[in-house]
Chain A
Amino acid sequence: MNWTSFDTWIVITAALCAVACALPGCFLVLRKMSMMGDAISHAVLPGLAVAFLITGTRASSAMFIGAAIVGILTAVFTQWISKVGNVDRGAAMGIVFTTLFAIGLLLIVRAADHVDLDPGCVLYGAIELVPLDTVRLGEFEVPRAAAVLGVVLIANFGIVVALFKELRLSAFDPALADTLGFSSRFFHYLLMTMVAVTTVASFEAVGSIIVIAMLIVPAATALLLTRRLIPMIAIACGVAFLAAALGHVSALTVPRWFGFDTTTSSGMMAAMTGLLFGLAWLFSPSEGLVIRWLHQRRGSDGLRGGSPAQG
């Protein structure tokens, strides 16, 4: 394996993205809104396209704002359709994000006649190219994507730290949150905004597939390993970081073992989150399949040990 500073930057950028996603992801999972991350990350596409068509550049600030607005609109439309149309929220979500995604694709294909903004890049990203596009931060030459994702990560972390008790309350018991004067609707849209902004920031660098993986899988993995919120968030961030690092390393090495060339890193990172989830599912000390199987065996072997205490 030939490790260069390029690889280091790729891992750093991916890790920043992964952890930035894992933070709002924990609350998505706890609110049972995992699919909302999926929906928003697809639906931002027309925002990107429209901003591009209006400004004519890929200058990220305009595209950033356009996409973030559409991301939040996804949440608003979903709420609205399920309420007014009296349909299931999942169905409403499906209607909104497929429609927006399709519009976005059409717009991009139209625009792509003249410029380089292609749908494949949006889906899979181009993390291998991240180190080429740099900005100066003081004395350092830093990839632009890493700088943007760093800012988003700090913002997400700041929000989770500052509003931890309110986020937890509104996720656990929105009705009580409302009666106490902490509008659960505000926190719903705050979370949706965090997801939309994080998605858009991650988009160019790593693509939407990995965003969806990083939003949900680290949080779901952490939930198998702990029953407390702060450790859950910490573990989710750790899993996200690990998946990013291992993903890149194995993208470089694993295919070689089988005689293939290296594969795409972001795909491997997403696959790695799945692998880590699988490990947690099998070997978690409290919920794991192995432990439960052992308990069952011990239970059926004899009555001497007694059954594990309930409650």
Chain B
Amino acid sequence: MSELLKSMSPAGDATGEDLSFHPDDVPLAIHDLTVAYHRKPVLWDIDLDIPEGKLVGIVGPNGAGKSTLIKACLDLVPKTSGEVGIYGKPYRDQRHLVGYVPQRESVDWDFPVSALDVVAMGTYRRLGWFRRVGKKEREAAMAALEQVGVGHLADRQISQLSGGQQQRVFLARALAQDAKIYFMDEPFAAVDAATEEAIVKLLRSLNEQGKTCLVVHHDLATVSRYFDWLVLLNMRVVAAGPTSELFTEENLEKTYGGQLNLLNDAAKALSHATR
């Protein structure tokens, strides 16, 4: 509760930064954000306010900067300009409110740890420096594993898991972070149908608890079923808002401009959605 109160205190007092434009009841407020790699802009002048308790899909073509957007919010890549407020404060003051699911390929799955060890990493911030994982943390990790349906695999070394199971371990780790806002980088990439279903169930249950989830998503066919809010991204924000208003052929054309195959996919997806 004290963490909650802390997050409600007036913005900017801890850091002296001017974040007056960030209302502290907005889970994620991005203002004028530009990110460049080797002088090539990847994200350009992003302005975005994500309302609380939404399942937000971040959609756009390859190279649109979807992952970079998440990483910039979490201070994993340097911002060229602009600011990001999480409940009204910079990320470094709000780590306890944020859960992160990186892309599955971002780590070495041959690493000598068990599934339970990986999930327990989600509790490290609460533990702080030097303190070891104890019974409480192991129980929390176990509960998270069970929630995504892989509790029986807790003792497996992670290379012995299938791709879908590995993805669920990553989701369980984010659950163990016990956050208010979750950033997920392509959790649906290359997973089996059972895992896809488990992830959707998990997203819904997080949604029911009033948590905010931002999910980088690739499959246009499922967008309108999975997400109630959308960010259409292609270096800039093409559009952001409720899925029902945004998911139109015109907007998708603007987002995917010129990429014919993808446009065909989009058309198919739309016919799916309207059916």
Contact = CB atoms under 8 A, between A and B. Distances in A.
B97 to A, nearest CB: 11
B75 interface: yes
Contact of B112 (A165, A178, A232): A232
A176 interface: yes
A64 to B, nearest CB: 27
Nearest to A230: B112
Given A162-B130, A179-B95, A181-B95, A311 B160 contact: yes
Contacts of B112: 30, 223, 226-229, 232
Contacts of B106: 173, 175
A311 B162 contact: yes
A163 B128 CA distance: 11
B121 A169 contact: yes
A171 interface: yes
B27 interface: no
A83 to B, nearest CB: 10
Contact of B113 (A163, A168, A176, A181): A168
Given A172-B107, A180-B95, A182-B124, A227 B159 contact: yes
Contacts of A169: 121, 124
B125 interface: yes
A277 to B, nearest CB: 17
A2 interface: no
A166 B102 CA distance: 18
Nearest to A163: B130
A285 to B, nearest CB: 14
A81 B172 CA distance: 38
Interface in A16-66: 30, 32
Contacts of B100: 175-176, 179
Contacts of A180: 95, 121, 124-125
A165 B74 contact: no
A59 B111 CA distance: 42
B273 interface: no
Interface string B102-116: 100011100111100
Interface in A134-168: 162-166, 168
Most buried by A among B75, B98, B108, B161: B108
Interface residues of B, number: 34
Contacts of A232: 112
Interface residues of A, number: 27
B157 A175 contact: no
A30 B130 contact: no
Most buried by A among B74, B108, B112, B162: B112
B98 A311 contact: no
B165 interface: yes
Nearest to A168: B113
Contacts of B113: 168, 172, 228-229
A86 interface: yes
A173 B121 contact: yes
Nearest to B177: A180
A179 B159 contact: no
Contacts of B160: 311
Nearest to B133: A165
Contacts of B111: 30, 171-172
Interface string B130-168: 101100000000000000000000000101111001000
Interface string B44-82: 000000000000000000000000000100111000000
Nearest to A166: B129
A30 B107 CA distance: 11
Contact of B114 (A165, A179, A228): A228
B38 interface: yes
4 shortest A-B CB distances, which residue pairs? A227-B157, A180-B125, A311-B162, A229-B112
21 contacts: A32-B108, A166-B124, A172-B107, A172-B111, A172-B118, A173-B102, A173-B107, A175-B71, A175-B102, A175-B106, A176-B102, A178-B74, A178-B76, A179-B76, A179-B95, A181-B95, A182-B129, A228-B112, A228-B157, A229-B117, A232-B112
Interface of B: 38, 71, 74-76, 92, 95, 98, 100, 102, 106-108, 111-114, 117-118, 121, 124-125, 127, 129-130, 132-133, 157, 159-162, 165, 173
Given A165-B127, A179-B95, 5 more contacts: A30-B111, A166-B124, A182-B129, A227-B112, A232-B112
